């Protein structure tokens, strides 16, 4: 009986040690996973390139002079000795989507929900909006009212909060003070609707934000990079072709925003620098959108 008791005590101690080691290993693995996730998010925002220490004609910027220099406004975050290795930070991209009161002339369309997601982080924004005009039956058939629509606020309240959130992403984009606000078929609709709602409710952005903001229609980028996708190139069809599954929560502002982000992740993986070149080449300034809307 004594031998049995000693054996069981040793067995108990051994199992206790194994359990303790298991917990330690689980804790370390959790830390490793968190570090890898942070690295992946940072990698999405930076590209490592080899550049000399003197100004060059950079192939990444269409032959523009691109000096390696320190300072908050340089495209190069920092330089290293040796083979002149430099890290170039990417501009921030914010995907956004609006659920609206209907189709037609954009100056007659109101916002009833806004959603946005940052490309290089897990940051998101979503609010229901009290529409400034009646919602058409067709709009409700495609996108019913959100569950929290009863607590919606007018754009005069939601708009400044949205732009404040965008400005926070702008701060995170330093030292590349540039934000691409990217929607789907947004040149015809979303960007114009934003301008008219701002004008209607007397909502303005800071001067720094309007100077640094660029509007991009991802439909144009997709046409250029993936011309073989069949028409009509609806968001649902593009997502199915590139991501490989249906959109979760389609026709909600945040659901369609996530879909656009997933599509863009695939586009960057497939096309690399060409993806960023298309964003840059098709970007439109805040003043450009205002001019198209005849608001400036």
Q: Lowest mean pLDDT of 31-40, 128-137, 212-221, 250-259, name the range.
A: 31-40
Rounded to whole angstroms, the Cα distance separating 248 from 259 reads 8
DSSP 145: P
Confidence of residue 18 (pLDDT cuts 50, 70, 90): low
pLDDT in tens, 142-177: 999 999 999 999 999 999 999 999 988 866 555 556
Q: How confident is the model at residue 14 (pLDDT cuts 50, 70, 90)?
A: confident
User: Can you tell me whether residue 47 is helix, strand or coil?
Assistant: strand
State the average pLDDT over residues 44-60.
38
DSSP bridge pairs for 125: 116
Q: Do 152 and 242 fall within a single domain?
A: yes
Residues 25 and 57 in one domain: no
Q: Please check whether residues 221 and 126 belong to one and the same domain.
A: yes
Same domain, 143 and 39: no
Both 123 and 28 in a single domain?
no
Q: Does one domain contain both 249 and 122?
A: yes
Domain that holds residue 76: 51-89
- Lowest-confidence region among 89-93, 212-216, 250-254: 89-93
Q: Please give the pLDDT value at position 59.
A: 35
**Same domain for 132 and 267?**
yes
**Same-domain pairing of 14 and 154:** no
* Domain identity same for 151 and 183: yes
Question: What residues form DSSP beta bridges with 217?
Answer: 183
Task: Find the DSSP H helices in the chain.
Answer: 2-45, 137-142, 155-172, 190-201, 207-212, 218-225, 235-242, 253-271, 273-281, 286-292
The enclosing domain of 268 has a CATH number of: 3.30.420.10
What is the rounded distance in angstroms from the CA atom of residue 147 to the CA atom of residue 70? 49
What is the structure's pLDDT at 81? 38
Same structural domain, 137 and 194: yes
Stronger pLDDT, 121 or 1, i.e. the higher one: 121
* pLDDT the model gives residue 102: 94
Burial 5-23 (b: 16+ CB within 10 A, else e): eeeeeeeeeeeeeeeeeee
**What total of structural domains would you count in the chain?**
3
pLDDT at 35 over 90: no
Give the torsion sign (CA, 79, 85, 91, 92): negative
**Are 142 and 211 part of one and the same domain?**
yes
């Amino acid at each position: 009986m004594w031998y049995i008791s000693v054996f069981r005590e040793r067995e108990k101690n051994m199992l206790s040690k194994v359990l303790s080691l298991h917990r330690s290993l689980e804790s370390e693995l959790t830390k490793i996973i968190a570090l890898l996730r942070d690295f992946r998010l940072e990698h999405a925002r930076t590209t490592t390139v080899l550049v000399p220490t003197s100004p060059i004609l950079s192939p990444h910027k269409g032959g523009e002079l691109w000096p390696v220099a320190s300072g908050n406004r340089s495209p190069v975050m920092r330089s290293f000795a040796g083979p002149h290795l430099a890290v170039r930070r990417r501009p921030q991209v914010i995907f956004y989507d609006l659920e609206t009161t209907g189709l037609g002339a954009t100056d007659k369309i109101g916002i009833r929900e806004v959603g946005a997601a940052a490309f290089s982080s897990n940051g998101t924004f979503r609010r229901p909006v009290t529409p400034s005009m009646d919602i058409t039956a067709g709009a409700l058939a495609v996108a019913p009212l959100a569950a929290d629509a009863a607590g919606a606020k007018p754009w005069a309240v939601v708009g400044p909060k949205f732009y404040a959130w965008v400005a926070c992403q702008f701060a995170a984009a330093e030292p590349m003070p540039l934000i691409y606000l990217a929607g789907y078929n947004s040149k015809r609709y979303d960007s114009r609707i934003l301008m008219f709602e701002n004008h209607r409710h007397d909502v303005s952005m800071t001067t720094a934000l309007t100077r640094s903001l660029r509007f991009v229609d991802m439909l144009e980028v997709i046409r250029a990079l993936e011309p073989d996708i069949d028409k009509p190139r609806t968001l649902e069809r593009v997502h199915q072709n590139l991501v490989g599954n249906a959109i979760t929560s389609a026709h909600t502002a945040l659901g369609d925003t996530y879909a656009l982000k997933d599509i863009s992740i695939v586009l960057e993986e497939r096309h690399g620098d060409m993806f960023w070149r298309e964003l840059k080449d098709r970007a439109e300034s805040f003043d450009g959108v205002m001019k198209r809307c005849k608001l400036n």
